Amino acid sequence: MKPSNTRSVLAPFEGQEMHAIGRLKEFRRQDDGRVSVCLVNCELRPFNPEVALRDIEPIRVDHLWNRDCPADLIDTTMLARMAGIGVVRQYARADGSVDWTVETIDSVSLDAAIRQASMSRQIDGSYNRGDRLSVLQGTLEMAKTATPYAFHIPTTEAMRMLKRHAERLQRSLHTEALTGLLAPAAGPCTALRELSRIPGRSPARPARGFA
């Protein structure tokens, strides 16, 4: 689909959540501290948590004003890539005419956490379970108050996967900590073995691991 030069293509989706992605061309600071940004070369996809965003045919527009963005979350570098979930709304221009926008809502991308969950080792080869668990738990916590979304797999599947990974890492770290607490500090004890040795018989070999 060729890019449209009118936002009226969004009219049928008014009130629906939509994923928007584009490049920053302009931003304007508002009196309340938030900003409006103009994105160019936009791809818009109706958001359905049961469907991967990449499998949804995009609606392309040449530019889009994204209103009410939190100023502290905006990368003001020109042509910086921006993406997130918003709601399709009408708004009135200064001249009184009506246009459509994707009004920002709090959202969190699950893609980075999914990549982190799939990494078993750091570059130096050591396990990174604690850091991975922190990333997963932080993302899941944010998803309680913001709309989560994933691009390559359905959002509902991504949430299940992250929860499953977090629970598995939590169990693994708990087992590791418990093993460290219960493991002998100085190796197998030989004193009792020597005291209990029966003359004429070979001593029993020390057991390894937990009995």
- Predicted confidence (pLDDT) per residue in 36-45, tens digit: 888 999 999 9
Mean pLDDT of 97-103: 85
Q: How far apart are CA 199 and CA 203, in angstroms?
A: 9
Higher pLDDT, residue 102 or 178: 102
Report residue 159 as tokens.
């949430």
Which of 22, 150, 34 lies closest to 80 in space, CA to CA? Answer: 22
Q: Which two tokens stand for residue 16?
A: 């629906």
Q: What is the pLDDT of residue 168?
A: 84
% of the chain exceeding 90 in pLDDT: 32
In this structure, how many other beta carbons lie within 10 angstroms of the beta carbon of residue 97? 7
For residue 179, CA distances in Å to 133, 134, 176, 185 come to 19, 21, 5, 11
Answer yes or no: is pLDDT of 157 > 80: yes
pTM over 0.95: no
Mean pLDDT, the chain, integer: 77
Sequence-ordered alpha helix ranges (H) in 103-201 = 111-118, 129-142, 155-182, 191-195
The pLDDT, as a whole number, for residue 45 is 97
Reduced to 3 states (helix: H, G, I; strand: E, B; else coil), residue 76 is coil
pLDDT at 185: 53
Residue 123's pLDDT band (cuts 50, 70, 90): very low
Of 75-79, 174-178, 202-206, the range with the highest mean pLDDT is 75-79
If we measure between CA atoms, which residue out of 105, 97, 14 comes closest to residue 66? 105
Rounded Cα distance between 168 and 174, Å, is: 10
Q: For residues 20 and 64, what is the distance between their CA atoms, to the nearest angstrom?
A: 9
Residue 51 amino acid letter:
V
What average pLDDT does range 125-135 have in this prediction? Answer: 67
